[in-house]
A and B are shown apart, each in its own frame.
Chain A
């Protein structure tokens, strides 16, 4: 991620603050920054969402295409993730500079999201063994101020909620091959059930305590962090320890417990917000970046 240079005195200041449950911007250790979410910002995608978490800006676009299912699971579709760390975030990402980080982010997203329980992959099947829907989830990183995984997972969940996949009918044509017909009505589409889509929570260990939603400055003071992906029921889909330091088992246990608690409480307000946005329907004023 974009590196920020911090002096020793600043690091000590942050560590002492965290010890007293007070961070640089006045938050507690388990508080998120101000979050703004908007769906349907890019009109030629099947689903999109934009999130601003403090100074971290992420844009997710989902395109659904028809492809061949994987041979091991012929009656399921699948998701493909691609994270583009654009040069907008920092000049270091110019050219191929952002590729390493992008690959690392998309691999973690695969682990957290691409399983049968998160998204109902069977609903993406068109005809077993031959055709299925492939959802290309493209994440665009626009501004980077720490906590990329959380922002990306919330944006992905919002974008999946917003995704509209056209209904298709299979018909047999003259030679016995299958023909796929798209329905004429553009509003006749299938929505995905995002109840079980997890949200990722990253906890960074600073001093003896851990913080949720660390900014770049706080990340510079922490040696290790734990990433945990939690569904609304509290089921964990992925746990990962990142960073160059080592953690003792006690801290990992504490951090996973805190992560589960925080993650569980993210889902309800998010779904409520998405339902409210959806209920506004055509009357909703699309703001995007113009607001």
Chain B
């Protein structure tokens, strides 16, 4: 890759960050009044909107409902104007279906589904602007939306991406760094217990480097969990002021 240095000699990345620095995270809960829970999250230039409906009775076929726990139904879609090249179909293509399955798997590990047998929880995530780390932004936004909906969870679910350049792990990749062809690892973590809900890696990586890469991703996710926690406490402060007598 001529001319595009992911990590300069002084240790700065393309957008001026250091190797282990996260992008700026801003979030807000309860953006929509009509949904049961909603949240908007910005991670750098990646903007994600998550909406939760439920728990409610299983829509559609009765056969989909489980007798002992709730079904989690996720849909991941991108706005047609979210990417640099206009996307023709917001959802329904293979990548979106794969992402929806990943989200479902991630949240089935975190949500206490045994409390709601025979019901369904819908999580809809929309990417308004894609600049790398789409999956992570979705997971973080969906966590906030689930908290906003009051659905009991084991722990926050925080996700982050990590890459590897010249023996240095990079945390929180942007689109240029992801599409450069280098390694990209996505990790979804439950911070308090340190358990991993989802782990996915693309491209080749020497097995000696895998541990450092995972460590970097886990540290980044733990940092993100602190940010999400502060967003939730801020939201609670605002809401309690409004509902106080």
Contact = CB atoms under 8 A, between A and B. Distances in A.
A143 interface: yes
B45 interface: yes
A53 interface: no
Given A88-B51, A96-B92, A43 B129 contact: yes
Contacts of B126: 86, 88, 140, 142
Contacts of A48: 81
Interface in B15-50: 26, 28, 31-35, 38, 40, 42, 45, 47, 49
Contacts of A65: 86
Q: Determine chain A's interface SS by DSSP, over half rule.
A: loop
A44 B45 CA distance: 9
Ordered nearest first, which 10 A-B pairs have the shortest CB separation? A61-B81, A289-B40, A87-B124, A88-B51, A138-B80, A45-B81, A138-B81, A63-B86, A143-B32, A290-B28
A77 B173 CA distance: 38
Nearest to A289: B40
Contact of B79 (A87, A90, A96, A140): A140
Interface string A46-58: 0010000001010
A61 B79 contact: yes
Contacts of A32: none
Given A44-B81, A55-B34, A88 B40 contact: no
Contact of A61 (B38, B59, B80, B92): B80
A57 B32 contact: yes
28 contacts: A42-B79, A42-B129, A43-B45, A44-B45, A44-B84, A44-B129, A55-B33, A57-B32, A59-B128, A84-B80, A86-B124, A87-B77, A87-B124, A88-B32, A88-B35, A88-B51, A89-B34, A91-B122, A91-B124, A95-B91, A136-B80, A140-B79, A140-B128, A142-B32, A143-B34, A144-B34, A289-B31, A290-B28
A25 to B, nearest CB: 14
A42 B81 contact: yes
Contacts of B91: 95
A91 B53 contact: yes
B161 interface: no
B95 to A, nearest CB: 16
Contacts of B186: none
Given A91-B59, A94-B124, A86 B92 contact: no
Contacts of A84: 79-80, 90
Contacts of A44: 45, 81-84, 129, 131
A290 B40 contact: yes
Nearest to A87: B124
B136 interface: no
Contacts of A91: 53, 59, 122, 124
B134 interface: no
B183 interface: no
A289 B92 contact: no
A41 B47 CA distance: 10
A104 B84 CA distance: 27
B144 to A, nearest CB: 12
Interface string A18-38: 000000000000000000000
A134 to B, nearest CB: 10
A94 B75 contact: yes
Contacts of B47: 42, 288
A142 B79 CA distance: 11
A78 to B, nearest CB: 15
